[in-house]
Structure 1
Amino acid sequence: MIYIVIPVHNRRHYTIGCLACLSRQTITAQQVIVVDDGSTDGTTEQIRSSFSDVVVLPGDGSLWWAGATNLGIRYVLQTFNPGDDDFILTLNDDTTIDTTYLESLLSAYQAHKPCIVGSVSVDVKAPQRLLYAGTRLNLLIPDIENWAETRFKNRYDRLKTTAPYLLSDSLPGRGMFIPRAVFDRIGFFDEQRFRHHMADLDFSVRARRAGFPLVVSASSVVHEFTDATGVNLQSPMSLRAFIEALSAIKSPINYRTRYHFAVKHARLPYAYFTVDMLRILLGYLRRQLNVISRQSQ
């Protein structure tokens, strides 16, 4: 059985679309658990009306990604008591998937077990634009190499002709296929230190250290709505907005989150954190200078 845990909050349109994709899967041995963290847009009511077999768990709006995902996982473990041959798939609602998606994840697991299987990510508006295909993680200096950019030049066709599977240093939570044994070994997502961003990074790093290879399946594709994510660091941003992003929960540059990751995983944690924050600041300044340069031309 595959138990699919999806945290949601006020994105009814995306949520219903994602659930519709799951209802068309070639593998029917699945149970979907949606954790609705305080939506006010009628998400829960729409799910219960359109997908009566989906379990909806309520939140009060304070769970964020890690807390909501953990709530769903705990519900699965306590209610269904999954066995060693059962899986939990973490999935975001701002994605669509093909009908053979679950089948491809299971095939990848069978070829590399025991392991965690991660999904390739492409742009839903441009399916050949590759967004994620594995990483190389440097824990000496703050550097996460995104192979989608460096190895495959953001082209999904290049990935497909390279290899069906890749071994990665980390995995994202949007499409992470996890056997029951992983939770028995390392526990849940760290919702205290990583409420939203980096919870999946931390979890996958801990799982790899515990002996579970991280396998990216080239045929397991999630189509991502890139404009539905949190803070967009590539867009022009005022100094005030940048400063606010440094402490915003939904921001990937939240300094507390990045500090916790450095202390927990880096070889030289305080040097790692300092360099990481300097890199973020210099990146912001470089983008601002580029904007000024374009405006002056």
Structure 2
Amino acid sequence: MRYSIVIPVLNQLHYTQQCIESLLANGVPAQSLLVIDNGSSDATPDWLASRPDIRSVRNPVNLGCGGAWTQGALLSDSDWVVLLNNDIVCAHNFIEAQIGAAETHQLDVVSPSLVEFELDYDLSAFTADFLRKMRGTVRAGWFHGVCFSVRRAVFEKVGFLDTDRLLFGREDAEFLARCKRHGLEVGTVGDAVMHHFGSITQNAMKKEQGVSKFGDHRYFYSKIGLNWWGRQQAKFARKSQTARWVASERERTGMTLHMVHRGGSIEYR
């Protein structure tokens, strides 16, 4: 199989259904899907049981994103493993498009472009316009955790996603650091775009548990080998590079590979 799509879920059935139906409607084959249910207590298990066309695994406990991603990668045997959040929708086969762009640009890990939060626009019309303007654009050196496609050989070189729960929400950043440390080519491409509603499961868990954030950012930085001064340098370099990407993309097309729609306004990131 060319690719497998691993989708960790924890409750939020509406978003899971919306995500999967959107993928199927835009040419993604059902046999490529693998849903990892991290111990949902809503109707998610029943719905998945009613869909024999969609492969799924139910965990008795929540393994977190890192654990579910790694579990899915180990259960797949495709050339590419796509790690995808469940709170997305699309208007074209962005999975095939991003992998095609990765092969063209010789990327080992690739993410699609994304618009986040409020779906206050015509997604189909926007997608057609976006692809016409942004196709061929690459942000080299960065991918995001909403969706990233990984060549199988990458796991053999750098290992799987970290299952450490103290990384909560930063598993993708830790994996990115490892990829860059090993000299792998990674990027986000303008050949593919999707809409992301934004941290739906994490926000629900925070509300349920009465906390404002998960994980420990200092622990994350120590794990990737950065002290306080190293963190400041990394933050400055990241912000400077992002500003250059945004300025270049907006000057050329009026769009960027990462946009946020909120309150009727657009933020370019």
TM-score, with length taken from structure 2 = 0.72
Which of 105, 108, 120 pairs up with 1:126?
120
Change (3 A) 1:162 1:31: closer
Structure whose CA Rg is larger: 1
Cα distance in structure 1, aligned partners of 2:232 and 2:110: 32
Taking only aligned residues, the RMSD between alpha carbons, in angstroms, comes to 3.1
Aligned partner of residue 8 in structure 2, secondary structure:
strand
CA deviation after TM superposition for structure 1 residue 169, in Å: 3.3
Secondary structure of 1:263 counterpart: helix
Q: 1:20 to 1:272 in 2, by over 3 A?
A: same
Q: 1:110 to 1:58 in 2, by over 3 A?
A: same
State how 1:210-289 maps to structure 2 within 5 Å. 210-226=182-198, 228=200, 230-231=202-203, 244-245=211-212, 248-249=213-214, 254=215, 256=216, 258-267=217-226, 269-272=227-230
Give the Å deviation of 1:195: 4.3
Secondary structure, counterpart of 1:98 in structure 2: coil
Q: What is residue 70 of structure 1 aligned with on the other side?
A: 70
* Residue identity opposite 1:125 in structure 2: L
Q: How many residues align?
A: 223
Distance in 2 of aligned mates of 1:100 and 1:41: 29
- State the alpha-carbon separation in 2 of the partners of residues 112 and 228 from structure 1: 32
Shift of 1:121: 1.4
Change in CA separation of 1:10 and 1:102 when aligned onto 2, cut-off 3 Å:
same
Aligned position for 2:60: 60
In 2, the alpha carbon distance for the partners of 1:20 and 1:27 equals 10
The within-5 A match list for 1:107-186 is 107-123=100-116, 124-127=118-121, 161=133, 164-186=136-158
Taking a change above 3 Å as real, the CA distance of residues 116 and 29 of structure 1, as seen in their structure-2 partners, is farther
Residue 160 (structure 1) shift: 6.6
Could you tell me whether the CA contact under 8 Å between 1:119 and 1:174 is conserved in 2? no
Decide whether the 8 Å contact of 1:35 with 1:72 is kept in 2: yes
Aligned to 1:291: none
What is the alpha-carbon distance in structure 2 between the residues aligned to residue 67 and residue 207 of structure 1?
18
Superposition deviation, residue 261 in structure 1: 2.4
After superposition, what is the alpha-carbon deviation per residue over 1:181-215, rounded to whole angstroms, capped at 9, x for unaligned?
Answer: 11111111111165421100111221122232112
Whether 1:105 and 2:106 are equivalent positions in the alignment is no
Q: Which has the higher contact order (CA 8 A, sep 6+)?
A: 2
- Structure 1 residue 26: Cα displacement: 3.0
In structure 2, relative to structure 1, the CA distance for the partners of 1:167 and 1:273 (3 Å cut) is: closer
